């Protein structure tokens, strides 16, 4: 799940053709994202985003069939009848189906959820086999969050098995909402509770999703904190680099940050070949070009994160530990259903 900011969209734009079909970005759209349809046309072939326009008012701007670019609508259980009808039109226009986003902390579950999804199918004209269920656990940032979220999500997945969903994915966000209290000028490790949470649910056979390198709900760098920052994904944690040393020049500070990163033990053996983001970070370590901006730092961090997660889900690569095994992908990027169970995909 990503915002529609420049940094995250730039990272998606640099996915290669082999990896693009394996990722389904869920983009939360705000009223300020007026140019998003044009940006989506430049994404790599095979990368079909799911778009959540729940923050937009009902009307032409939220009617995805008018965007002229293949997308999947993200449907909330409380969407209006008019919006559901518009989402159904988008599904017919692009022949892609839809993502139903259920938030266990906010949406009712059990019989109430059944009534709600039956309304979704009726108003959109879809059937369960055309819909992917996204169970959005939101913030899972500490052991206490994990203890609350796990039984809640297990109950939702148990309920979900009563319906013939195309896929079922559990997603969470583990990045702390603020980094300003972390030390500067040294890498600081932060647990990836979202990844640990999903691994605890491995027996359910559900797909994996997260909020990239941003907190959940999507936020980003807090106002006033514009220190050079990289959020670098490793096995069970992130390494947070926030650099203030060497004073004045931002280019030199960021180059020093990158030199520290590329000599660290969590720098992948493939180095700059691991992802576009790693390539750009190595260029800054060598002072080939300038430091960039906060949007660039988000783009490079997100690019590495996508590569790391794909490596963990699809098999051992570059020394990264593999997660629970994933079934074979079909050409649309959705996993082929397991008989009688939930399915796995990457978001």
**Burial of 309 per CB tally in 10 Å (0-12, 13-18, 19+):** buried
Q: In what order do the strands lie in the sheet with 26-28?
A: 2-3, 26-28, 50-52, 72-76, 98-102, 131-139, 167-173, 207-210
Find, among 5, 56, 59, the residue nearest to 27 by Cα. 5
Count of Cβ atoms closer than 10 Å to residue 203 Cβ: 8
Instruction: Judge whether 198 and 169 are in contact, CB under 8 Å.
Output: no
Instruction: Judge whether 155 and 173 are in contact, CB under 8 Å.
Output: no
Find, among 266, 206, 199, 283, the residue nearest to 232 by Cα. 266
More confident residue, 325 or 162: 162
* pLDDT, tens digit, 9 for 90 and up, residues 204-230: 999 999 999 999 975 544 544 678 999
- Per-residue pLDDT averaged across 93-107, rounded? 90
Share of the chain above pLDDT 70, in %: 87
Tokens of 187: 């890498």
Instruction: Judge whether 193 and 329 are in contact, CB under 8 Å.
Output: no
For residue 296, the SS3 value is: helix
Q: Give me the torsion for CA of 280, 281, 285, 289, rounded to 10°.
A: 40
Residue 96 has a pLDDT of 87
**pLDDT above 70 (res 10):** yes
C-alpha–C-alpha distance, residues 37 and 40, integer Å: 5
Q: Band of the pLDDT at 112, cuts 50, 70, 90?
A: confident
**pLDDT above 60 (res 334):** no
Count of Cβ atoms closer than 10 Å to residue 171 Cβ: 25
* pLDDT, tens digit, 9 for 90 and up, residues 231-252: 999 999 999 999 987 555 768 8
C-alpha–C-alpha distance, residues 90 and 88, integer Å: 5
Sign of CA dihedral 281, 286, 288, 293: positive
- Residue entry with tokens 């300003």: 180
**Is 0.85 surpassed by the pTM of this model?**
yes
Tokens of 149: 């979220």
- Per-residue pLDDT averaged across 179-199, rounded? 95
Q: Which residues of the chain form beta strands (DSSP E)?
A: 2-3, 26-28, 50-52, 72-76, 98-102, 131-139, 167-173, 188-191, 207-210, 229-233, 237-242
* pLDDT, tens digit, 9 for 90 and up, residues 57-94: 888 888 999 999 999 999 999 999 999 999 999 999 98
Instruction: Judge whether 113 and 53 are in contact, CB under 8 Å.
Output: no
- Give domain 2-314's CATH architecture: Alpha-Beta Barrel (3.20)
């Amino acid at each position: 799940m990503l915002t529609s900011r420049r940094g995250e969209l730039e990272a998606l734009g640099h996915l290669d053709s082999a990896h693009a079909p394996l990722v389904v970005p869920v983009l939360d759209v705000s009223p300020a994202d007026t140019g998003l349809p044009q940006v989506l046309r430049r994404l790599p072939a095979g990368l079909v985003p799911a778009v959540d326009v729940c923050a937009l008012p009902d009307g032409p701007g939220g009617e995805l069939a008018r965007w002229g670019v293949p997308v999947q609508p993200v449907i909330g259980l409380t969407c209006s009848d008019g919006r559901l009808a518009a989402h159904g039109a988008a599904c017919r226009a692009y022949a892609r189906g839809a993502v139903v986003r259920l938030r266990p902390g906010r949406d009712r579950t059990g019989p109430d959820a059944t009534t709600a999804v039956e309304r979704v199918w009726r108003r959109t004209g879809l059937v369960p086999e055309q819909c992917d269920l996204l169970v959005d656990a939101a913030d899972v940032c500490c052991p206490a969050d994990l203890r609350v979220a796990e039984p809640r999500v297990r109950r939702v997945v148990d309920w979900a098995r009563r319906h013939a969903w195309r896929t079922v994915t559990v997603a969470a966000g583990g990045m702390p909402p603020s980094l300003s209290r972390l030390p500067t000028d040294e890498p600081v490790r932060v647990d990836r509770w979202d990844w640990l949470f999903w691994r605890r649910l491995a027996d359910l056979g559900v797909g994996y999703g997260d909020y990239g390198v941003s907190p959940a709900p999507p936020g980003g760098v807090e106002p006033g904190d514009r220190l050079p920052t990289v959020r670098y994904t490793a096995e069970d944690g992130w390494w947070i680099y926030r650099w203030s040393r060497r004073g004045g020049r931002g280019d030199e500070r960021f180059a020093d940050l990158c030199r520290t990163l590329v000599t660290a033990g969590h720098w992948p053996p493939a180095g700059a070949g691991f992802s576009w983001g790693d390539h750009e970070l190595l260029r800054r370590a060598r002072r080939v070009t300038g430091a960039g901006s906060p949007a660039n730092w988000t783009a490079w961090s997100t690019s590495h994160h996508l590569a790391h997660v794909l490596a963990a889900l699809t098999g051992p690569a570059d020394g990264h530990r593999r997660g629970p095994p994933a079934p074979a992908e079909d050409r649309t990027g959705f996993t082929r259903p397991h008989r009688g169970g939930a399915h796995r995909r990457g978001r």
